Amino acid sequence: MSGAEPQEKKSLILVVEDDTSIRELVKEALEHFQFAVVEARNGAEGVAAFTAHKPEIVLMDVRMPVMDGFEATAALRRIPAAATTPILILTGLDDTDSIRRAYEAGATDFASKPVNLFVLGHRVRYMLRAKHALDDLRGSEARLASAQRIARLGNWERQIKSGRMQWSAEMFRIFGVDPKTFKPELRTYLDLLHPQDRELVARATGDAVRREGPYSFDARILVSEGVVRHVHEQAEVVFDDNGTALRLEGTTQDITERKQIEDQIRFLAYYDGLTRLPNRALFVERLNQSLAGAQRQGRTLAMLFLDLDRFKRINDTLGHTLGDRLLQAVSERLKKCLRSTDTIARGDPLASSDSVARLGGDEFIVTISDIARGEDAARIARRIIESMAEPFMLDDHEVFVTGSIGISLFPHDGADVETLLKNADSAMYHAKDAGRGNYQFYNKSMNASAFQRLALENAMRKALERGEFMLHYQPQVDVTTGAIFGAEALIRWKHPDLGMVAPADFIPLAEESGLILPIGEWVVRAASAQGKAWQDAGHGPLIVAVNLSGRQFRQQQLVHTVDDALKETGFDPRCLELEITESVLVQNVEDAIASLKRLRAMGPRVSIDDFGTGYSSLTYLKRFPIDTLKIDQSFTRDIGTDPGDAAITAAIIAMAEGLKMAVIAEGVETEEQRDCLLDRRCRLMQGYLFSKPVPAEQFKVLLEKQAAGHKIGAQTKPRRRAAR
Ligand code: C2E
Ligand code: MG
Ligand code: MG
């Protein structure tokens, strides 16, 4: 016998055989082939010997006492270490049934007795070689799997045509699905992705096929309710010889942790850890963007630099922990008071609370990206200062803190972040010098005008509570009869120091600050109550006209406000007239038409005030549901001297007539004007010629005179052409 190869370490073979002579022969033959041999005399001994010696191959007889070969093979397969060990059954029973039973029990192969010892030696050697190759393969597969598990990287294939997929074990783990029940294919895979990222896959695949190149993208997967995982997918397309795309081969890696770390790094780099507000770096970055936008759109931007007063003392007396807590509480208040934007004139410039940043220490910065004028910034500064007025509760300590604010405006006080910051900072020091707990503009002149406006705004707020507003009434006259048919209510403010303030001096500010809403509500109520009182006093169906400002008119609440006022006062809705200036109506025609319809549906009449100044086109005019046109004073003024104005006035009157609207001429001061208007068939008028706006008691005197037969401002000489 030959063929023995030198071996470093002899492979161990277990021979399980009850027949001593056969066992000896086999042993000898195997030893000749340079194998080491362990012997066992029956199945039970064989199982024990396996556990004790871990042989590489088992030769197993079938018929043995105690435990036969089938049973012993089955028992070995249950031992994990023997799961892949080749078992060669040596049997004299070469009927098919025994062969089947041998394989069922887990045998690798079988050989019939009598054994050809030479062939057996070779056979064992080849079995051993196959086993080693298989072990290597299993080892590298296991290493690959564990490498994939460590890297959280799965690999897969996808058939382009059918969409069917093959996944490695790690894929199932990444996607959180059970390999026993989940069938990977394009559709089920897409279902696992975040809905917003599904399209990405189709696009990437399509691109890759077209370019014949690899692709990669990051996507999100929904692992469970609210839990998102991030994956990085990379793949290549495999084509056949004709260039048809067959399948994709790719990998998917779970990069959730990396993403989280990136977020964390971003947070650390851009946010303040204590207050979670943006830090200086993010603030500068964002402000640079805002400045570019403001520059392009010609907007004014304000920067408020807030520094807490005497913060160092708080830190020293209460300790740093409470000092930190105070800074957190201050930043919360700042955010909160910037969120409630109701009193800011132009919409909602502070929608994002990210416009607050902490520069460091006790310094905060607020940017407002769109303000109408400096006063808006002052208003916010004041609100911030007021928000600090309430004590902060830190543990059991009631801590009082004030802040000083410096304001700089773009573009007036600087064109770049640095200059704006420097100037806001220096203004902040002025605020500290001026006694702390206040604000200062960098530009000194702003302080005065902002102060005036804010003082006026404050006074106006109080005026409502203190009943300083009153209404004057101006009669509206039908000059053909001299009868007073209506009264326009005009607001007056009896200021304790300034005396009577004209509406032109406070209505615009009331509009901006939003105070016009409560004021306007008061006007509608007071005028309706007055109208009702006159009616009750027997002065007939007098029309009372009330002016509505733009902001009031655009407010959704208006219909209810008017309705409530009418119900509460019991004033006949048909006697109330709402005056809206033409310029307000043309700002948003469709909305205006809808609002007018809603108002009129409740009963009141509607008139266009200051008509002729707002450039409304004829097309609009036809569509506005309007009862009355009020010709603006400017046309009346020059009607006798300026042929142009006279012509326009005549045209307005004719047009209103055609549209079945009434026409009232405003600002009639002279008889000449009156007669001119009358000549052009306008008979309803209002103006100093008849009466100035007067308090209600005086108006009542006018009404009483009229009842006694007195004609107010009626035409004195007969005219050739009388109006309707
Ligand atoms: P308007 O509604 O066009 O009111 C007419 C203005 O012309 C009133 O000024 C009135 O006093 C004045 N006027 C009347 N006749 C003559 C005249 O013959 N010659 C001249 N030169 N002026 C005359 P007033 O009361 O100062 O009101 C000014 C504006 O303020 C009003 O213009 C109206 O737009 C607004 N306004 C007045 N009261 C209210 C109110 O309660 N709410 C709102 N939103 N606006 C009001
Ligand atoms: Mg008016
Ligand atoms: Mg007017």
At 392 the three-state DSSP class reads strand
247/613: higher pLDDT: 247
Q: Provide the pLDDT confidence category of residue 109 given band limits of 50, 70 and 90.
A: confident
356-360 and 363-371 beta bridge pairing: antiparallel
CATH number of 12-146: 3.40.50.2300
469-478 and 694-695 beta bridge pairing: antiparallel
pLDDT of residue 583: 86
Is the predicted pLDDT of residue 106 greater than 60, yes or no?
Answer: yes
Specify the CATH number for 272-442; select among 3.30.460.20, 3.60.140.10, 3.30.70.270, 3.10.105.10.
3.30.70.270
Instruction: Name 85's Cβ contacts closer than 8 Å, sequence gap at least 6.
Output: 50, 55, 56, 57, 58, 76, 131
Q: Provide the pLDDT confidence category of residue 433 given band limits of 50, 70 and 90.
A: confident
Kindly state the DSSP code that residue 81 receives in the 8-state scheme.
G
- Distance of CA 503 from the midpoint of ligand 3 (Å): 12
pLDDT of residue 396: 84
Per-residue pLDDT reduced to its tens digit, 329-380: 999 999 887 875 433 333 333 334 448 999 989 999 999 888 877 888 888 8
Lowest mean per-residue pLDDT among 173-187, 311-325, 515-529: 311-325
- For residues 601-614, give the mean pLDDT: 91
Structure tokens at 637: 């003024």
Instruction: Name 243's Cβ contacts closer than 8 Å, sequence gap at least 6.
Output: none
pLDDT of residue 231: 94
Q: Provide the pLDDT confidence category of residue 606 given band limits of 50, 70 and 90.
A: very high
Is the predicted pLDDT of residue 2 greater than 50, yes or no?
Answer: no
- For residues 416-432, give the mean pLDDT: 93
Cis peptide preceding 411, ω within 30 of 0:
yes
Ligand in closest contact with the CA of 613: 3
Which uninterrupted H or E stretch holds 234?
strand 227-239
Is the predicted pLDDT of residue 54 greater than 90, yes or no?
Answer: yes
Q: Positive or negative CA dihedral for 94, 97, 103, 107?
A: negative
Contact call for residues 472 and 494 (beta carbons, < 8 A): no
Structure tokens at 594: 């809808």
Is the predicted pLDDT of residue 723 greater than 80, yes or no?
Answer: no
Is the predicted pLDDT of residue 405 greater than 80, yes or no?
Answer: yes
Ligand in closest contact with the CA of 545: 2
CA-closest residue to ligand 1 atom 3:
610
Q: Provide the pLDDT confidence category of residue 93 given band limits of 50, 70 and 90.
A: low
Q: Positive or negative CA dihedral for 340, 342, 348, 350?
A: negative
- For residues 251-268, give the mean pLDDT: 90
Q: Provide the pLDDT confidence category of residue 693 given band limits of 50, 70 and 90.
A: very high
Question: Domain limits of the chain?
Answer: 12-146, 152-254, 272-442, 460-707
Please give the torsion angle defined by the CA atoms of residues 202, 206, 211 and 217, in that order, rounded to the nearest 10 degrees. 0
**Cα-atom radius of gyration of the chain, to the nearest Å?**
48
Structure tokens at 106: 């887990």
Is the predicted pLDDT of residue 476 greater than 90, yes or no?
Answer: yes
Structure tokens at 169: 């074990």
Q: Provide the pLDDT confidence category of residue 94 given band limits of 50, 70 and 90.
A: low
- Distance of CA 548 from the midpoint of ligand 2 (Å): 8
Is the predicted pLDDT of residue 487 greater than 60, yes or no?
Answer: yes
pTM of the complete model: 0.53
Is the predicted pLDDT of residue 663 greater than 50, yes or no?
Answer: yes
- The residues facing 607 across adjacent strands are 579, 628
Ligand in closest contact with the CA of 471: 1
- Distance of CA 514 from the midpoint of ligand 1 (Å): 20
Q: Which amino acid appears at position 535 of this protein?
A: Q
> Residues with beta carbon inside 6 Å of ligand 1?
474, 490-491, 502-504, 507, 520, 523, 547-549, 579, 609-610, 633, 666-669, 687-688, 693
- Distance of CA 477 from the midpoint of ligand 2 (Å): 15
Q: Cα(450)–Cα(625) distance, rounded to whole angstroms?
A: 41
- For residues 624-639, give the mean pLDDT: 92
Lowest mean per-residue pLDDT among 31-45, 370-384, 647-661, 696-710: 370-384
Per-residue pLDDT reduced to its tens digit, 217-248: 999 998 877 788 999 999 999 999 888 899 99
User: Ligand 1, from 490, 501, 576, 582: best to mutate by most atoms within 8 Å of Cβ?
Assistant: 490
Is the predicted pLDDT of residue 96 greater than 90, yes or no?
Answer: no
pLDDT of residue 210: 86
Q: Cα angle at 465 between 462 and 468, to 5 degrees? A: 75
Per-residue pLDDT reduced to its tens digit, 504-551: 989 988 987 788 999 999 999 999 999 999 999 998 889 999 999 998
Q: Cα(408)–Cα(424) distance, rounded to whole angstroms?
A: 5
Closest CA to 388 of 401, 407, 405: 401
Kindly state the DSSP code that residue 496 receives in the 8-state scheme.
T
Percent residues over pLDDT 90 in the chain: 55
Atom in ligand 1 nearest the alpha carbon of residue 581: 34
Closest CA to 460 of 420, 430, 492, 427: 492
Is the predicted pLDDT of residue 616 greater than 80, yes or no?
Answer: no
- Distance of CA 490 from the midpoint of ligand 1 (Å): 6
Lowest mean per-residue pLDDT among 307-321, 454-468, 527-541, 704-718: 704-718
Q: Cα(45)–Cα(156) distance, rounded to whole angstroms?
A: 46
Q: Cα(410)–Cα(417) distance, rounded to whole angstroms?
A: 9
Percent residues over pLDDT 70 in the chain: 94
Contact call for residues 677 and 643 (beta carbons, < 8 A): no
Closest CA to 480 of 711, 171, 218: 711
Contact call for residues 90 and 119 (beta carbons, < 8 A): no
pLDDT of residue 149: 83
CA-closest residue to ligand 1 atom 34:
547
Mean pLDDT (the chain) is 88
Is the predicted pLDDT of residue 28 greater than 70, yes or no?
Answer: yes
Specify the CATH number for 152-254; select among 1.10.4080.10, 3.30.360.10, 3.30.450.20, 1.10.3720.10.
3.30.450.20
- For residues 457-469, give the mean pLDDT: 90
CB atoms inside a 10 Å sphere around CB 318: 16
pLDDT of residue 463: 93
pLDDT of residue 446: 73
Looking at the domain 460-707, which fold is it? TIM Barrel (3.20.20)
pLDDT of residue 514: 83
Is the predicted pLDDT of residue 724 greater than 70, yes or no?
Answer: no
Structure tokens at 31: 């030893």
CB atoms inside a 10 Å sphere around CB 452: 11
Is the predicted pLDDT of residue 128 greater than 50, yes or no?
Answer: yes
Q: Cα angle at 630 between 624 and 636, to 5 degrees? A: 140
Atom in ligand 1 nearest the alpha carbon of residue 471: 41
Q: Cα(349)–Cα(268) distance, rounded to whole angstroms?
A: 28
